Chains A and B, each alone.
Chain A
């Protein structure tokens, strides 16, 4: 008998009638926050039902083909963009959410970020030590360790080499893997279960210990009386997990944990007309906007093989304000790499046609791509993002390309050009609709000085959506308290990236896990 047949699973597309369930806690979404919550609550002896909009794929059904995998595992089949279409936004949509498709970088929340939360948002509880025991526990549970089994691939080594040549800080990245074969296609789901996503760790543990999982099921509305939620209404999707069926599922529970990710958690509260005394619901969404630069090298890089992210640089993450730049509002950024696979390079990065497109793609094995994650949400001149519900009832994110973002991008591209040439690049190209390519640093910089990096000229991406249900010190300054509990609705918690009051500044999964673990442990004290 397969393991799956012993578990309490419901694929909602198979329903032939409406269903109702009663449980202690229902968790909406099974990503970093939802999966971890399920294990901790189940361990505490609570009856848990997990609800997931995406399908339940495992190594048995993953595809190593980029187009197939993005259609199966990503929000909007990988086509999600901000409202003005200026930023491509990648999020997981499957059991395990973003953790099933992420690139395994495992980094603690920086002390400077926690300091900002204390000083600018009044979240005094987040002392430097507050999360330390939770980081340690998560790192052990998910095998987050220095990755010493293999040397960084050539794509990552170029970042290290360029930084070293210019005297910039760089270091290797911890990863949440066990028995990694260094194949490189983490973004398509790990075919050997080496990646310690929620799909292979906490979710199976919770299922094997009595929790239930309903997949292809979208939570649409929380039924409440302004103080307490009584039930959640769910629409069953069809086999493709794309279209609605006529069947509904209603779950009544003592407590409701929303972990639908930082666009859909605020959207669910907005659609349910959950009280919003701070008016912060759906406001201040952060993306860690990604700026990317490609370079061509004489030697082979094969950037499609090898663990995708093993080296990063925090040299520019916390720029010092000097007397020369007292009003410098540019965002700080960290540097890392993007795997150079045919679809990411050919469709996501490249923007040329004919000879221009082909000349880039024929050099694919010689391409390196370095990207910056911009630390958004720390600066008053940023607009950040706002979640809206469109006329079809779907969430969209309005995240304008501000002057602050444009000047940050110019700064990033300038630094990365220097790093790539210092590492021996033959040509460099910014991610831009004009598909520019330069053979000298001088020519590249001269283009950059006046290049239009505005909407649909400069290209921007994101794989880290945060905020929208931010923690506050009281109901006037945030949607939830520092335990993720909603200020007004007593049996509602938010356990995902949406509770952050700024971006984390580094890849967020460990920050989500640690805050979730802390908040779930606190929650169990009230529920058991």
Chain B
């Protein structure tokens, strides 16, 4: 067994936004400024997610969660998960908020998406199969940064989805046994 500890000095660290992704796409773009300005907002009032990010997340959440959904409720449950995420971002420390929003902006931006394997012409035109293939390419990538993006997309979609009590019956959970509010002590 190789028991040598990692050489700390030779390690490099992943950043979701900023240099990490910029270097991956060849550098230099101000992604957030160049994203699709024509995208229609899904949420009537969003605090953190741009309309373009909302439309992109609808496609990504769908590719991750489609098999969990009772057909007739599809769009509603996904939109509600996106709303939960939008609200949840405000509870994150400012530096992580920036990192996550930066990543989403960058993924809505065509050149970076291209670099990350999605070759379709815009998120609104991407099919479920295309987005799934893109996600699986990230999941199985040999690059840590790509796997990190996959894990981030997976975790934000699923944690926002299962936050909604309406999804609990889909997984056989009848909800908490105790309900608040309890007494102050």
- A residues with CB within 8 A of B: 2-4, 58-68, 71-72, 76-77, 79, 83-85, 181, 183-185, 190-193, 199-200, 204, 240, 242-243, 304-305, 327-329, 341-343, 346-348, 350-355, 357-359, 361-362, 364-365, 381-383, 386, 390, 392, 394, 398, 400-404, 407, 433-434, 455-457
Q: Find the B residue at minimum CB distance from A407.
A: B1
Inter-chain contacts of B148 with A (CB < 8 A): 85, 456
9 more CB-based (< 8 A) A-B contacts, given A242-B92, A433-B147? A3-B184, A59-B184, A64-B178, A84-B13, A85-B14, A185-B176, A346-B171, A350-B158, A365-B172
Binds A, one of B26-34, B50-58, B83-91, B104-112: B83-91
User: Is B95 in contact with A181, judged by CB distance below 8 angstroms?
Assistant: no
Cβ-based interface call for B162 (8 A)? yes
**Least Cβ–Cβ distance between A524 and chain B, in angstroms:** 25
User: Is A59 in contact with B8, judged by CB distance below 8 angstroms?
Assistant: no
Given known A353-B154, A361-B68, A402-B5, contact A76–B92 (CB-CB < 8 A):
yes
User: Is A342 in contact with B162, judged by CB distance below 8 angstroms?
Assistant: yes
**Least Cβ–Cβ distance between B16 and chain A, in angstroms:** 8
Q: Find the B residue at minimum CB distance from A379.
A: B3
Inter-chain contacts of A382 with B (CB < 8 A): 5
Q: For window 1-46 of chain B, which residues contact chain A by CB distance below 8 Å?
A: 1-6, 8, 11, 13-14
Measured CA separation A381–B5 after assembly (Å):
6
Cβ-based interface call for B132 (8 A)? yes
**Least Cβ–Cβ distance between B57 and chain A, in angstroms:** 14
Inter-chain contacts of B64 with A (CB < 8 A): 353-354, 357
The total of interchain contacts (Cβ-Cβ below 8 angstroms) comes to: 204
Given known A400-B6, A456-B151, contact A64–B179 (CB-CB < 8 A):
yes
How many chain B residues sit at the interface, stated as a range, is 35 or more
Inter-chain contacts of A328 with B (CB < 8 A): 1
Given known A183-B178, A365-B172, A381-B4, contact A358–B67 (CB-CB < 8 A):
yes
**Least Cβ–Cβ distance between B158 and chain A, in angstroms:** 4
Measured CA separation A204–B183 after assembly (Å):
13
Q: Find the B residue at minimum CB distance from A404.
A: B3
Inter-chain contacts of A403 with B (CB < 8 A): 1-6
Q: Which of A85, A243, A357, A383 contacts B67 (CB 8 A)?
A: A357
Q: Which of A83, A185, A358, A394 has the most CB of B within 10 A?
A: A358
**Least Cβ–Cβ distance between A459 and chain B, in angstroms:** 8
Q: Find the A residue at minimum CB distance from B131.
A: A353
Given known A60-B181, A191-B180, A329-B3, contact A84–B11 (CB-CB < 8 A):
yes
Inter-chain contacts of A184 with B (CB < 8 A): 177
**Least Cβ–Cβ distance between B5 and chain A, in angstroms:** 4
Cβ-based interface call for B117 (8 A)? no
Inter-chain contacts of A85 with B (CB < 8 A): 14, 148, 151
**Least Cβ–Cβ distance between B1 and chain A, in angstroms:** 6
Measured CA separation A381–B172 after assembly (Å):
44
Task: Report 22 cross-chain contacts, Cβ distance below 8 Å, ordered by A residue.
Answer: A3-B184, A60-B181, A60-B182, A60-B183, A65-B163, A66-B162, A67-B88, A77-B91, A77-B96, A84-B14, A192-B178, A242-B92, A346-B162, A347-B154, A351-B139, A358-B67, A362-B170, A364-B171, A365-B172, A403-B3, A433-B151, A434-B140
**Least Cβ–Cβ distance between B6 and chain A, in angstroms:** 4
**Least Cβ–Cβ distance between A7 and chain B, in angstroms:** 10
